[in-house]
Amino acid sequence: MNRQNRADAVDREMATRLLPDVALTALAGWWSLNALTYADGTPGAHTIRYTPGRWTQITP
């Protein structure tokens, strides 16, 4: 099993597990705050570091 297959297996497993109530409550609060902060759909000024060489072997 290669690295991508292992990552896919983790994704499948995590998709079957429900979040605990405390996490859902925290997520709802975070979502509400961000919905107001970014109401126009723009994330504001920020920088994303991107190193192409680290992504060349990743396929869809």
What pLDDT does 52 receive?
84
What pLDDT does 33 receive?
85
Site of tokens 């504001």: 44
Q: Is the pLDDT of residue 10 over 90?
A: yes
Q: Is the pTM of this model over 0.75?
A: no
Integer Cα distance of 5 and 13 in angstroms? 12
The tens digit of pLDDT for each residue in 11-57 reads: 999 999 988 999 999 999 988 888 887 777 777 777 788 888 888 87
